[in-house]
Amino acid sequence: PNKKRIITDTFNFPSDLYILQGIKQNLGNQHEIIRIGASDNDITPNIAELESAMNENTALVTLSHVVFKSGYIYDMQRITELAHKKGALVLWDLSHSVGSVPIELDKCNADFAIGCTYKYLNGGPGAPGFLYVNKKIQNKLSSPIWGWWGQKNPFDFGLDYEPADGAQRFLVGTQPMISLLTMEAGLEPTLQAGMDAIREKSILMTDYAVYLTENVLAKYGFTLGSPTDSSQRGSHISIRHEDGYRINRALIEEMNVIPDFRAPDNIRLGFAPLYISFAEVWEGFDRIRQVMEEKRFEKYPKQKLLVT
């Protein structure tokens, strides 16, 4: 509580940074938020810089396990150990890794993790998020939002808040029942396939995508915006092009390929191993080739639409 340094990076999802900024302001601007940058062209975070930023005044290190633009994957075990040596807690955002990369929070002794279920866990837009708090610290903490489902005896309707034991104290309001029920169907295929099989196929797919980027798309000016080593990579890659925004629009509007564009020049391609085939990966890259060959992107304005 007396430590005032919070360490994150420029690769973290912006809303993770916004939350930190909001908390900092609510607590009277006493904290310092440090954002570690890249060691190369926005692909790999600077781990040495991260390590040297961790000092005895560090309260929290918070990072995206797999980062949203480049798909770089942090070594959770190593970073958590480094932070713990300085007495800092660690919070991992699993949004871009859960369901595509095996994760062992307990084994890594992580303190906190959060994430969404609407990417690789098939929950769809606005599906429920999740929170992990290490058993060792659950009862030392309380949620900043004291809701009735985190109350020890919610149906006593007592006027004073008393937190429940264990993870339940982090609940807030009534759970969204319809969304939770649809998650059963969303999670089932992942449980059936198993994380090891999913990761194995995911690596083969992103390796194939890297191969196609270098051997089919490079001649049109594309570069890889992701690590080449699959052990440092989640289940998506970015391909970069100075006309990336317009190429992305042509893909969506003419080619039935729906990537995300992420500024300044990333076209982000996600590979969900459960339901995407290798033939579809080839087909997708061939459509990008077509857009370039036929210069289909040139008719779109450089001015961005509101939703990308």
**Residues with active-site annotation:** 13, 93, 118-119, 268
Cβ atoms of 139 and 170 within 8 Å: the answer is no
CB of 149 to its own copies, least distance (A): 8
When binding is defined by CB under 8 A, the residue of 87, 102, 144, 221 that contacts its own copies is 144
CB of 17 to its own copies, least distance (A): 6
Nearer to its own copies, 35 or 84 (CB): 35
Cα 5 from Cα 2, distance rounded (Å): 10
Nearer to its own copies, 22 or 102 (CB): 22
Cα 152 from Cα 278, distance rounded (Å): 50
When binding is defined by CB under 8 A, the residue of 126, 166, 194, 221 that contacts its own copies is 126
Nearer to its own copies, 39 or 143 (CB): 143
Q: Does 160 bind its own copies (CB under 8 A)?
A: yes
Query: What phi and psi values does residue 91 have, to the nearest 5 degrees?
Result: -120, 125
The region of 11-19, 56-64, 216-224, 248-256 touching its own copies under the rule CB under 8 A is 11-19
Nearer to its own copies, 295 or 304 (CB): 304
Q: Does 175 bind its own copies (CB under 8 A)?
A: yes
Residue identified by tokens 């450089």 is 302
What stretches of 29-108 show up as alpha helix (H) in DSSP? Answer: 47-53, 76-85, 105-108
Interface of this chain with its own copies, residues 287 to 306, rule: CB under 8 A = 304, 306
Q: Does 131 bind its own copies (CB under 8 A)?
A: no
Cα 296 from Cα 175, distance rounded (Å): 46
Interface of this chain with its own copies, residues 189 to 248, rule: CB under 8 A = none
Cα 286 from Cα 299, distance rounded (Å): 20
Q: Which long-range contacts (CB under 8 A, 24 or more apart) does 94-98 make?
A: 94/65, 95/13, 95/64, 95/68, 95/119, 96/64, 96/65, 96/66, 96/67, 96/68, 96/71, 96/234, 96/236, 97/65, 97/66, 97/73, 97/234
Q: How many other C-beta atoms are found inside a 10 Å radius of the C-beta of residue 196?
A: 9
Encoding tokens for residue 300?
């779109």
The region of 15-23, 102-110, 231-239, 242-250 touching its own copies under the rule CB under 8 A is 15-23
When binding is defined by CB under 8 A, the residue of 4, 31, 35, 287 that contacts its own copies is 35
Residues near its own copies (CB under 8 A) are 10, 14-15, 17-19, 21-22, 26-27, 35, 116, 118, 124-129, 142-148, 151, 153, 155-161, 173-180, 182, 262-263, 304, 306-308
